[in-house]
Every structure is written in C-alpha cells, then in structure tokens.
A and B are shown apart, each in its own frame.
Chain A
Amino acid sequence: KQEVTQIPAALSVPEGENLVLNCSFTDSAIYNLQWFRQDPGKGLTSLLLIQSSQREQTSGRLNASLDKSSGRSTLYIAASQPGDSATYLCASRMDSSYKLIFGSGTRLLVRP
C-alpha cells in the first residue's frame, strides 16, 4: 500500500529565501506525481505534474523533481514571497489505479 509522507509539516522562512519541500513515497510504481497548493478554507490548486518518465517540471519560480528509485519528490520555490504562504500537498497516482494518494502537507509561512 502506497504511503506518502511530507516533511516538514510546517515551515517558516523570511521573504526572499529559496526553499525546498520534500515528499517521499514507499512504492516506486507511480504513474505520476502532482503538487498542489491549498490556501486556508479553499480548494486545491494544481501547481505541477510530473510523469514517471520525467525528472523535473518547472513553472515560474517553482521547480518539482522526481526520483522514483529513491521514492522522493521535491518542490523548490525560488525567491519566496508572502503570497506563497499556503499548505503544499503532494499526491501520487499509481500505475494500476486512477486514485490519488496524498501526503499530509507542508504548511508554509513566508514572513515579510
């Protein structure tokens, strides 16, 4: 059974800092991995999707990497801004299923 873990659970950084959020998974037979952002009281917004055949994806200041062999994905945020404050969730889709398995999230606070 796939388990997805996100560390740290919470992170507080000053504005302008580059930061890395971690996501690990126990079963490497993933089809893809998706990173989401969730603002308080809101829904999930898709940030980046990495297929199992890809190593990384980039969108603006965000870069997500995937290493299936080690069971890890990272989300890199460059030059963080207070508007980046939110909870970041990673979710894996397995080869044999359409279901998404979520991590518990990292709550990010970027201080002005």
Chain B
Amino acid sequence: NAGVTQTPKFQVLKTGQSMTLQCAQDMNHEYMSWYRQDPGMGLRLIHYSVGAGITDQGEVPNGYNVSRSTTEDFPLRLLSAAPSQTSVYFCASSYVGTGRRLNYGYTFGSGTRLTVV
C-alpha cells in the first residue's frame, strides 16, 4: 500500500550509541519531515526537507542529523544517543506548492519507539 514506511518500529539504544531511523515514501511527495512525540509536549518538528538535497532545522534539531539524497528517503541519524532522546518518532510527507496537490494533506508513518538507556 502507498504511504510512509518507518523502520524499525522499536529500538533500544545505550547512551552514546548511534543509529539511523529510516523513512521512505512512495507517493512522490517533495516535502518530508521528522517529528518527535513526548508526553505533555505534543509533536515537535525536528528536521524537514522540501526536496532532494534540501534540508532545514525544525524546532528541536539538536542531536539529530538528516540528509535527502532521493525523493523517496529521509533518514534521521542520532550521532550519540542520550536518554533525553527517548521518544516516539514520526515521519510525515506531503506535496509542496499550492492548489489541488495540497488537498491531500500530510501522511504520517506508524512511528518508531526509541528508548535510550
């Protein structure tokens, strides 16, 4: 089925370890983004991209890196995991521009639950 696919679904890391959260979409969306969701904090934007080769920081970018080499993929890298990065991570995508393409809104993946011990 078309949509946003996130892997892995669950991950436990030790403090200081690195890992990459994968996100892939098959809807030819230009815009892709990463959010983290924490109790009492809601969903907060980490990084986003409006096309291949273009990335920018969101609200809470520290400790995370991203790159966008293809339209389909937008991986999120944790370089040195910290307990404060324990969270649920969501990837979302959408079309950019105006008009009918934006009638489809944003599509979210099912999330990655990350625990850093």
Contacts and interface: CB of A to CB of B under 8 A. Distances in A.
Contacts of B104: 49
Interface stretch (A36-44, A68-76, A77-85): A36-44
Nearest to A47: B105
Interface of B is mostly: strand
Given A42-B111, A89-B43, A100 B106 contact: yes
A109 B96 CA distance: 35
Contacts of A63: none
Chain B interface size band reads 20 to 34
A98 B50 contact: yes
B33 A99 contact: yes
A7 B75 CA distance: 34
Interface in B72-117: 90, 92, 94, 96, 102-111, 113
Contacts of B42: 102-105
B92 to A, nearest CB: 7
A93 B90 CA distance: 17
Contacts of B96: 98
Given A98-B31, A98-B96, A104-B42, A32 B105 contact: yes
A43 B110 contact: yes
B102 to A, nearest CB: 7
Contacts of A104: 40, 42
A44 B110 CA distance: 7
A5 to B, nearest CB: 11
A58 interface: no
Interface string B55-68: 00010000000000
Interface of B: 31, 33, 40, 42-43, 45, 48, 50, 58, 90, 92, 94, 96, 102-111, 113
14 contacts: A31-B102, A36-B108, A42-B111, A43-B90, A43-B110, A46-B105, A46-B106, A46-B107, A89-B43, A98-B31, A98-B94, A99-B33, A100-B92, A102-B42
